[in-house]
Amino acid sequence: MKRDIVLPHCLSILVLLTFVLTNTCFAQKGPKEEFSFPALHKVQTPKVQKLTLKNGMTIYLVEDHQYPTIDLRALVRVGSVYEPEDETGLASITGTVLRTGGTQKMTGDEIDKILETMGGTIETGVEEGLGYVYMSILKEDQDKGISILSDILMHPVFNEDKIDLAKIEMRSSISRRNDNIWSIASREFNSVIYGKTSPYARYPEYATVDAITRDDIISFYEKYFHPNNIVFAAWGDFDAKDMQKRLQATFANWPSVRTEYAESPKVDYQYRYTVNFIQKSDVNQSNIQMGHIGGLMNDPDYPALVVMNQILSMDRMFKVLRSKEGLTYAPWGNYGADYDHPGVFSCGTQTKSQSTVYAIRLMLNEVKRMTTEPVTDDELALAKDSYLNSFVFNFDSKSKIVTRMMTYAYYNYPLDFIERLREGVEKVTKDDILRAAKSHLQPDKMQILVVGNKDEFGEPLSSLGDVDVIDIAIPSPPSEAAPEATDESRSKGKDLFDKVREAVGGMDALTKITNIWTKLDFLQSTEAGDMQMSGEATIVYPNHVFQSISTPMGEMKMVVAGEKGWMVGPQGKMPMQESMRKNLLDNLFRDPVNFLTHADELQIQYVGEKPFNNVTSYELLVTGKEGTFHLYLDEKTYLPAGVSFQSTGQQGPMNVEEMWSDYRTVAGAMLPFKTIANANGKKMAEVTAKEMKVNIEIDPTLFEEK
């Protein structure tokens, strides 16, 4: 009886389970059988109205009533490619001060206040191949906004104070340009490809910035800023007919001027294999870039190269270097193409120092494979889908659409160039990619650049070929010419040098000093006010320095051990920037114990007498392999009153004066216990020694990296 009851019950469960499983299996068909997607909808571009004013200005208008704002942009046919080589930076400074320097009606600061009350913005600049003025305002402020923008375009005054500020900012940028390994690699790789003096690769130096005058800026502006050299666009919440009338009335009286443009800079590139290296001791990873010249965007092969680039960088490089080998987080590749001159084909990565050469070989192999093997069906489909599925984001704002169309008009490209590119990508085949790769890639003639620390490479870079070492030292601006050295000036300089050594205790006392320890109080002067700190310093001659400073953020230690330098702070240990290491060693070169005991390695000449540190002083010019400085000796005591020299700070080159006082005897030598440092005539710091000892026992771990 129980069996009769249980059996039907079990069978019913099995039947139910079989039904569920069967239907579940049928419901889970493979994607190829079940899923199908319709073709992507055609992207709708906004209606664009074009007009040309009698003075030659081309204007595009696009109505967009989604938000109560209006955007205005002018593209000016100008660029840094047209600036003189010895005034590199002129275009950028002109673009900056066009906005900050004010107009005949308003100062730059007054424009700032007006825009602040309006909630508007305005930006200006001059880049490599174009200049721009951009404004965004509320609809209700369109008359005032158009008036300001047109005033900046037509009547700038280039205030001298704002020019000085722009030059300070550019010098500051120059002083920091070797701090970041990525910026070094990108900048210098561009120079490797185009040539260091090419307008497409050169960059400002202190000397070129110093050479720029207000007259140069005005001349540059007056040569290129004319309505017939401008493509203008307005988009936003307005009536097109009404906006047309406003712009015609605003710019009608701005006369056109025929501009004689220099011939476009030539890119004379020779394919060749090279290995280039930049030493950066304060890093533990190498930044690698390699490639050669690229092409133009209007090349018929460009759609195939776009897909090829997607496969090379996002698929193959990524899989090999990151997924398979685990050498890096972000390998990349880019077939660079520009509108009016060849771009740069490049690929690269950042990897640990020990893997540098191995990573280079892997990347070279992937570039070569792209020219010898057809891509797979899956690679082609994935690359095209990735491009086409993200294509819509080119149209997610009117700003993108209008700015892109302006750029096409500026470079005489079809206004629907991007749509044509998409259609080209859709048609790309595997054969197209292989043909384009063979035609445009030269894997055996790649130029390689590595920025890193060669002391940590697992395999020497020379295993890849002869290495060209690139010097990225920032040239100092020309200093004041030193008086010509004569037998008389050198003889008198030597006599005075002998007297100062006797005044501080004599050579016997000086040569016995092997190290100095000092407990210090610091007063650092900043724009926000003076900052008081304390710490200690240990100098071990000739080239070891240890400093420990208590700051508001915690204790900061700085260590230089010859060619190495590092810092230890609240956030841990980090390599010291090369510029900081060099500055600390330069300070050691000007240390009185150091230079007074190495007269045979220096050229010393007498310059004259001058007031320094409130005393009449003898001035000596001291020159060694580390540099040059002026030494001032108290006329009565022959003790050093201080030194002056040229250095580089966060705002660029500066003339520094260090004034020494409060001399006390330590181990038979007279040493200064107080230093006041001025930079460009302003107080920079004051350092007071609270305690000083010489020839102390040095902790052997003090200069060891941990």
Dihedral pair phi/psi, residue 535, rounded to 5°: 175, -160
The superfamily CATH assigns to domain 49-177+208-251 is Metalloenzyme, LuxS/M16 peptidase-like (3.30.830.10)
Q: Write down the pLDDT at residue 323.
A: 84
Q: Is the pLDDT of residue 28 over 50?
A: no
| Confidence band of 610 (pLDDT split at 50, 70, 90) | very high
| Confidence band of 17 (pLDDT split at 50, 70, 90) | very low
3-state secondary structure of 519: strand
Q: What is the mean pLDDT of residues 664-671?
A: 96
Secondary element (H or E) of residue 222: helix 214-224
d(C-alpha 470, C-alpha 475), whole Å: 14
Q: Write down the pLDDT at residue 30.
A: 41
Q: Where are the domains of the chain?
A: 49-177+208-251, 274-390+414-469, 487-694
State the pTM of this model.
0.82
Q: Is the pLDDT of residue 480 over 80?
A: no
Q: Write down the pLDDT at residue 42.
A: 62
Q: Is the pLDDT of residue 287 over 50?
A: yes
Q: Is the pLDDT of residue 532 over 50?
A: yes
Q: Is the pLDDT of residue 24 over 50?
A: no
Cβ-based neighbours of 6, under 8 Å, separated by 6 or more: none
Q: Is the pLDDT of residue 162 over 80?
A: yes
Asked whether the beta carbons of 340 and 410 are under 8 A apart, the reply is no
3-state secondary structure of 680: coil
Q: In the CATH scheme, what is the code of domain 487-694?
A: 2.50.20.10
3-state secondary structure of 325: coil
Q: Write down the pLDDT at residue 507.
A: 94
Helix, strand, coil % over all residues of the chain, rounded to 5: 40, 30, 30
Q: Is the pLDDT of residue 213 over 90?
A: yes
3-state secondary structure of 466: coil
Q: Is the pLDDT of residue 1 over 50?
A: no
Q: Is the pLDDT of residue 397 over 90?
A: no
| Confidence band of 44 (pLDDT split at 50, 70, 90) | low
Dihedral pair phi/psi, residue 554, rounded to 5°: 125, 180
Is there a common fold for 49-177+208-251 and 274-390+414-469?
Answer: yes
CATH T-level fold of 274-390+414-469 = Cytochrome Bc1 Complex; Chain A, domain 1 (3.30.830)
Q: Write down the pLDDT at residue 251.
A: 97
Scanning the structure block, which residue is given the tokens 């044509």? 420
Q: Is the pLDDT of residue 432 over 80?
A: yes
pLDDT averaged over the chain? 90
> CA torsion 139→140→146→149, rounded to 10°?
-80
Half-sphere exposure of 683 (CA within 13 A, CB side): 13
d(C-alpha 556, C-alpha 519), whole Å: 15
Q: Tell me the pLDDT tens digit for each residue of 298-334.
A: 999 999 999 999 999 888 998 888 888 888 888 888 9
Distances in Å between the Cα of 556 and the Cα atoms of 70, 543, 553, 565, 600 are 50, 20, 8, 14, 37
The pair of three-digit structure tokens given for residue 348, joined into one six-digit string: 């690269």
d(C-alpha 57, C-alpha 225), whole Å: 11
Cβ-based neighbours of 286, under 8 Å, separated by 6 or more: 350, 351, 352, 353, 355, 356, 359, 450, 451, 452, 453, 457
